[in-house]
Amino acid sequence: GILIKGSNYLEKLSKARVVAFDKTGTMTRGIFEVTAIHNTIVNEEKIIEYAALSEIYSSHPIGRSIIKEYKKELDESRVKSVKELSGKGISALIDDHRILTGSEKLLNEYGVKTVKCTDEGTIVHVAMDNDYLGHIHIGDKIKPTSKEAIASLKKSGIEKTVMLTGDEKTVAEKVGRQLNIDEVYSKLLPQDKVSIVQKLIDEKNEKDVLVFVGDGINDAPVLAMADVGIAMGALGSDAAIEAADIVLMDDDPLKIAKAIRIARKCMHIVYENIVFAILVKIVCLILGAIGFASMWLAIFADVGVMVSCVINAIRALRVKHL
């Protein structure tokens, strides 16, 4: 269930010391549900309707959860234009009204004053013609193996774990505490993730390797710039899978630690085989030089060493689970 695109990535992965994660879809299930609608000045159904129409062309899990909550067929003809603002939300012209759907930052940029939500979770604010309508509370669940995955990474010798997300600080820190992640960065735009990963690369030792794990189209630039990029293959975007060096086919974060253990065991076996082959050949050369080598010894030094190394390499098929 682990696709490694080249032996060079396997070698790099064996030296991993820092692992950074995206949150949504990587450490959490990425299956969102609308749990509440707050501070509305219009009917709650009207807020969901406008938000769903704004997200009509969106493939983002949050957008799809809003459309799912609407439960009715969307009339595409009511949507005149849609402008997606990366990492902030959507500005759409619906029924000749300008609808803003997204983060607090997006609405503030348009001069709309938002109402704070005290609940922890993803908050989508909605405004019409620069008048605040209310906000939608959306929940996501941590994957069952995420906490075990972080513990397994630390047991495997990973020195630092980092989580990067565009979510609000309270949501990000709550997930970070639950999973025991060392550093958490929140409210990030796609370009912010690139800056943070570059900072992490600059801070680490030259020989150490930074691994980034993500699944979304916004993660593709970071997956490409990290020393080793790992993508979630089952629900991950095509761009993320293409940019990554390693793909986890079942989206299980526990496989990250397993991939690192496989890489380390493979490299350990490689070095064992190199040392064994060179030592045997040196011994045979010395024995040959002083007249003690026979044809059988020469055959062992050639074919015997090759067979021994292949048999030793078969050990790579068995990797212990922590």
Question: What positions carry a catalytic annotation?
Answer: 22
Residue 285, number of CB atoms within 10 A of its CB: 12
111 — alpha (psi -120 to 50), left (phi > 0) or beta? left
Q: Rounded to the nearest 5°, which phi and psi values hold at 181?
A: -85, 140
- What is the distance in angstroms between the CA of the first residue and the CA of the last residue of the chain? 17
Contact 235, 215 (CB under 8 A): yes
Distance between alpha carbon 246 and the CA centroid of its chain, in Å?
11
d(CA 239, CA 190): 14
What 8-state DSSP symbol labels residue 301? I
Place of tokens 């960065």: 185
Contact 220, 245 (CB under 8 A): no
Pairing outcome for strands 246-248 and 2-4: antiparallel
d(CA 322, CA 316): 16
Those residues with Cβ within 8 angstroms of residue 144's Cβ, 6 or more apart along the chain or in another chain: none
d(CA 286, CA 176): 59
